[in-house]
Each structure stands twice: as C-alpha cells, then as structure tokens.
Amino acid sequence: MLKIGIIGLGRIGKVHMTSICTRIPEAKIIIAADPFLNDEMIDFAKEFGIENLTKDYKEVLNNKEVDAVLICSSTDTHADISAEAIELGKHVFCEKPVDHSIAKINKVKEALEENPVKFQVGFNRRYDHNFAAIRKAVLDGKVGDVHVTKITSRDPNPPSAEYAAVSGGMLLDMTIHDFDMVRFLTGAEPVSIYVEPAVLVDKAIGEAGDIDTAIITIKMSDGSIAMIDNSRKAIYGYDQRAEVFGSGGMVASKNDSESTVVISDENGVVGEKPLYFFLERYMDSFTLEVKEFIDAVINDKEIKTGIDAGLKSIEMALAGNISIKEKRVVEISEVQK
C-alpha cells in the first residue's frame, strides 16, 4: 500500500483526496497539510478517515512513512516544495503549473537529476477520454502526417479581475493546459508562437493587465501548425474540443454533456449544454492521472507527463506573453536562453 501525503486542501487537493480514497485502493492518504486548515477541510478529510492534519507542510515531508506527496497548494509554492520533497526522497505529483519561472523549474529538474524519484505534473487533460482517443488515432496513423491542430478552450465564466491580476495572466493560468495539449496531440515541439489577444468579456480584466480572449498560432517542429482559440466566457458552458487534421484524414472530438438527449419540437432540435466546468468535465481524468502516478511509483514505470512537460508549457506561455507585449512572432528559443 503506497502511503501518500497531500499538501494543500483547496479545490484540487479535495479532488485528489476524493479520487484516492474512493477509487484507488492501492494507495492510502496518511497525512494532509494546509496553513489555512479550517473546519470545512477537517470535516472533509475526516469523512475519509484522515485524522492526521497539520498546518505545516514540512510535517508531511518529514513524515518517514510518506512514500509520495501530492502538491496541491497555490502555484507560487509548487517549485520550492517539490525540490524539498525530492531531496527527501519522496515521489512527487505536482499540480500544474510547476512554476511561472523557467529558472525555478530548472531547479526542480536539477533536484530530480540528483534524486531520481518519480515526478509527475498534473496535466490531467491528457487523461480525458476524448483527448486520449485523439492522440491514439494520431499514433495509429489515422490522420497521416499532421498538418493542422485546433484546440477550442473556452471557460463558462471569467475569474474576478482580482484573481486575473495575481494569476500570472490567462496564458500562464488557463492556456497552459492547451499548450500541453498541443504537444500531447501532435507529439511535436513548439518552434514559434504568435498571440492575437483581446479583452472582450470583462473590461476590468483588461484594466488588471490581463486578456480574456485570444487566438494563438504555433509553428511545430514537424512543420505542422497549431491553433488555440481561448475565451474566458462561453455562454453555453465549458467548451473543450480538439481536432487534428492531416494528410490521411481528420480526428475531432465534441463536448461532453450530461446526456445525449435531443429534444425536437416546432421550435427546433435542441441538445444539452456541455458539462459546466472542469470539476464536472474532467473528474475521471483527475482520477486516472493520479492512478497512473501511483502505478508508476509502485511498479517503477516511466512517468509520461514529467518535468519536461511542465517546462515546455511554461516556455510556450512566456513566449506567448512576449508576443502579446511586442505584437510579433516569438521563437520559443528566445525564452530558453
């Protein structure tokens, strides 16, 4: 039985706690930490029989029984806690993004080179049934040589302007998943990026220095072109689709909805809206990613979404931010220097 410690008991910490306690019998959570530990978190953990709760994440890291930690705290803590955990020989599952700074991600990479524990980044969308099926079709040669990849990624509602101001901006906070998805679906690396940004949803987001809408084009190392279409507000719900087109055909996914029911009457033919947001749409993928991490630790398997996935997605986001600022195509190599 793999013994797990969870660091951070906010939204995503609770998601992973629920997965492990209800759907992953090979692992057991023996301790969890959050500096703002409150009654709600305590009650939530106790429902799963987890009594060992602390405000200090170091108690999780220094617990000799803990084999692996899940880092689910705020983004600015991920890299430091990861490096500390790795140096103590703990296997690490780290929520995305690892950090906003390439230098700090490289520090985690160095720690891994010295202490080769398992390290996985929480790019859960790779485990979504639709996107995994697109990747499989590409690997099976169903589209031939990839020519164009299109990602549509639109949230149902924008965050507050206050959140936007401290999140690092839309590309680092939201589009980061789409950057990883482009690499995942094509199996190629980004070469250059151009972002056409807009503030069309909420002026306050613009005043806070962020954007809420973008069309992003990316030139890939296999010569193909990728396009990401982002909005912070789609009035019909969480719009998460992808398409890969190539010399041999095309593979595309639709949104998931609560049911496939379609009501037809004199006004038209109407289906259900997409599932509301990430907790509804991606719950299975959150379980599958952690299940795969636990399996990799127990059976010494290779981690597919490791530190390089964390690094490359940040390089794309940082290059994208330069593109927004300087209104030009930016080579990814410019941020790698």
| Total number of residues that touch ligand NAD (CB under 6 A) | 22
Cβ-proximal residue to ligand NAD, closest one: 10
72 binds ligand NAD (CB under 6 A): yes
Closer to ligand NAD by Cβ: residue 251 or 290: 290
Q: According to the binding rule CB under 6 A, does residue 35 interact with ligand NAD? A: yes
Chain positions 123 to 152 lying near ligand NAD, rule: CB under 6 A, are 124
CB of 10 to ligand NAD, least distance (A): 2
User: Of 2, 4, 5, 9, which lies in the binding site for ligand NAD, with binding defined by CB under 6 A?
Assistant: 9
Q: In the complex, what is the shortest distance from the CB of residue 80 to ligand NAD, in angstroms, rounded to a whole number?
A: 9
Q: Tokens 């995994």: give the residue.
A: 132
Angle between helices 78-87 and 102-114 (to 10 degrees): 10
Q: How far is CA 230 from the centre of its chain?
A: 15
Cβ–Cβ under 8 Å, residues 225 and 218 = yes
Of 27-35, 98-106, 158-166, 230-238: span binding ligand NAD (CB under 6 A): 27-35
Does 99 engage in binding with ligand NAD (CB under 6 A)?
no
Greatest CA separation for the chain: 68
Applying CB under 6 A, among 4, 5, 8, 275 the residue interacting with ligand NAD is 8
CA distance 109 to 52: 30
One DSSP character per residue, 115-140 reads S---EEE--GGGGSHHHHHHHHHHHT
**Cβ distance to ligand NAD smaller for residue 79 or 251:** 79
Nearer to ligand NAD, 53 or 251 (CB): 53
Residue 75 in the binding site for ligand NAD (CB under 6 A): yes
**Cα distance between residue 53 and residue 49, in whole Å:** 11
Cβ within 8 Å of residue 272, ≥6 positions away: 257, 258, 259, 260, 261
Tell me the closest approach of the beta carbon of residue 222 to ligand NAD, in angstroms: 27
Phi, psi of 29 (to 5 degrees): -85, 120
Q: How far is CA 147 from CA 193, 236, 241, 242, 252, in A?
A: 16, 30, 17, 14, 14
* Whole-number Cα distances in Å, 153 to 120, 191, 227: 23, 21, 11
Q: Which of 77, 157, 192, 257 binds ligand NAD (CB under 6 A)?
A: 77
**Rg of the chain's alpha carbons, rounded to an integer?**
20
> Which of the ranges 1-9, 148-156, 181-189, 316-324 carries the binding residues for ligand NAD, by CB under 6 A?
1-9
- Which CB sits closer to ligand NAD, 52 or 75? 75
**Could you say whether residue 33 binds ligand NAD (CB under 6 A)?**
yes
Residue 10 within binding range of ligand NAD, rule CB under 6 A: yes
- In this structure, the dihedral spanned by the alpha carbons of residues 243, 11, 67 and 28, taken in order and rounded to 10 degrees, is -100
Decide if residue 74 touches ligand NAD (CB under 6 A). Answer: yes
How big is the CA angle at 101 (ends 307 and 97), to the nearest 5 degrees? 50
Closest approach, Cβ 67 to ligand NAD, in A, equals 19
> Site mask, ligand NAD, residues 164-183, x = CB under 6 A?
--------------------
Side chain identity at 323, as an amino acid letter? S
Among residues 20, 27, 34, 226, which is the contact residue for ligand NAD, using CB under 6 A? Answer: 34
- Interacting residue ranges for ligand NAD, rule: CB under 6 A: 7-13, 33-36, 57, 72-75, 77, 95-96, 122, 124, 278
